[in-house]
Amino acid sequence: MNDYSEYKDWELLLLLNEPKPTSDIVFHEIFQRHSKRLIGFCRYKIRDQRDAEDIFQEVWYHFHKAVKKRQTIASIQPYLIGIANNLIKSYKTRHNNDERIFVHKDGIELDKIATPLSFPRTFEEPELVALLKVGLTEIDEIYRDTFILRRFNLLSYTEIAELTDESEENIRQRYSRAYRMLKDYFKEYVENIKY
């Protein structure tokens, strides 16, 4: 039996149309590899956790259909995020819902996140998490979404540009600006700590 955890995503995509049980095992490996970031993204965008999980499941259904139709999928994570984005837009149109909670790439709420940025470690972890949540709410959505897609979903600048129909240079600048804004936010906090 093969250890598919060692395979690259593109290799797994090629094996998805193999006969069972190979295709089932490969699909399970892809699900294990990408589901935590995907559910994190869905929970970040949708306040109602049950609805976020429904969208998460629907994304996998669409992915499965695309594989069966032998559609070309260049990269799994951006493809999944693209489907999720479309489903979330439809959901928000129906529900007029724009509230968020912040979620780590592993699908857990940001309250349990490990330090995601290279900031000075001069304060306790719970304070850092709370500050990051506040900092993310302080920046415009366009910067926040770019930051989350890049830092937590680990998408490349090119992949984010394709998802958002923006130029790669715009995405680079937007991410850089979001990072600087958050870093400035932390710097101000760190400078005001009394020892």
CATH of 103-195 given 1.10.10.10, 3.40.50.280, 3.40.50.1100, 3.40.50.720: 1.10.10.10
Peptide bond into 21 cis (omega under 30): yes
What is the predicted pLDDT for the residue at 2?
77
What is the SS3 assignment for 81-150?
HHHHHHHHHHHHHHHCCCCCCCECCCCCEHHHCCCCCCCCCCCCHHHHHHHHHHHHHHCCHHHHHHHHHH
Indicate the pTM of the whole model.
0.71
CA dihedral 68, 39, 55, 154 (to 10 degrees): -70
What is the predicted pLDDT for the residue at 129?
67
CB atoms within 10 A of CB 124: 9
Q: Is the pLDDT of residue 130 over 80?
A: no
What is the predicted pLDDT for the residue at 63?
96
Cα 183 to the center of its chain, rounded Å: 20
Give the pLDDT band of residue 45 (cuts 50, 70, 90).
confident
For residue 155, the 8-state DSSP code is -
What's the CATH fold of domain 1-101? Rna Polymerase Sigma Factor; Chain: A (1.10.1740)
Tens digit of each residue's pLDDT (9 = 90 or more) over 51-73: 999 999 999 999 999 998 999 99
Tens digit of each residue's pLDDT (9 = 90 or more) over 69-120: 999 998 999 999 999 999 999 998 888 755 555 655 555 455 444 444 444 4
Give the pLDDT band of residue 163 (cuts 50, 70, 90).
confident
Q: What is the location of CATH 1.10.1740 in the chain?
A: 1-101
Q: What is the location of CATH 1.10.10.10 in the chain?
A: 103-195
What is the predicted pLDDT for the residue at 169?
96
Tens digit of each residue's pLDDT (9 = 90 or more) over 110-126: 544 444 444 445 555 66
- Beta-bridged to residue 103, according to DSSP, are 109
The average pLDDT across 15-24 equals 91
CB atoms within 10 A of CB 194: 3
